[in-house]
Amino acid sequence: MEFISVKDVVKEYETAVALRGVDMDVEKGRWVSIVGPSGSGKSTLLNIIGGLDSPTKGSVFIDGVDLGSLSEDAMARFRRENIGFVFQQSHLVPYLTSVENVMLAQYFHSITDEAEAVEALNRVGLGHRLHHRPSQLSGGEQQRVCIARALINSPKILLADEPTGNLDRENTRLILELLKKLHSEEHFTIILVTHDPFVSKWAERLLTMEDGRIIKDEPLYC
């Protein structure tokens, strides 16, 4: 079994079907991009892999663990140990500083260590923005805080849902270069959802989705 294994996952809502039997395997340490038009089911797939949502049918295995067998609290514990998230809207807590936002992830994981949080922010180039609140940061800086928060607990997987969706080209490049650097240093698995072909080409493998199905699966050579 691969590190991440998605088996015949279906997701149905009352008025629509988001996923129509998706199968997908991901090797450990790989960077996979998922592209597709709006409504193709890529974010839904990402959420199900991350345990933020549950499939109507099918199963997801991560490192041998069947996510469907976990209770809600067990899933939360699994997420904090293994998965980091970067969202399109960074979802930083508005009244916490950059350091405090990173420490929030530490709090739920184990212990809070301000020095470690500062180090994480230094790695993403925000050593000079430690005590700024999100409203005082640019979009690109907010996403870098989000990346620091996502990686503070050394997860095995980074799930990124349109992480550059709100950024201009320059900031997009900066974020992607940062992710590439961290990926090469720490070898976590990345699954990145995007509608932007420029962003998708930074991955090692590209999955294309349409109407709830994976219609193409191709390697990329960076």
Tell me the window of 22-30, 31-39, 103-111, 197-205 that interacts with other proteins (CB under 8 A): 103-111
Sheet architecture: strand order including 31-35: 83-86, 157-161, 189-194, 31-35, 205-210, 213-219
Tell me the window of 25-33, 73-81, 174-182, 208-216 that interacts with other proteins (CB under 8 A): 73-81
Burial 100-117 (b: 16+ CB within 10 A, else e): bbbbbbbeebeeeeeeeb
Q: Which position among 31, 61, 85, 188 is part of the footprint of other proteins (CB under 8 A)? A: 85
Cβ atoms of residues 192 and 164 within 8 Å: no
CB of 212 to other proteins, least distance (A): 16
Q: Which position among 81, 168, 186, 217 is part of the footprint of other proteins (CB under 8 A)? A: 81
CB of 48 to other proteins, least distance (A): 8
DSSP string spanning 74-141?
Answer: HHHHHHHHHEEEE-SS----TTS-HHHHHHHHHHHHS---HHHHHHHHHHTT-TT-TT--GGGS-HHH
56 binds other proteins (CB under 8 A): no
User: Of residues 117-156, which lie at the interface with other proteins (CB under 8 A)?
Assistant: 149, 153
47 binds other proteins (CB under 8 A): yes
Partners of residue 157 on adjacent β-strands: 83, 189
**Binding positions for other proteins, rule: CB under 8 A:** 43-44, 47, 50, 52-54, 72-73, 76-77, 79-81, 85, 87, 89, 91, 93-96, 100, 103-105, 107-109, 111-114, 149, 153
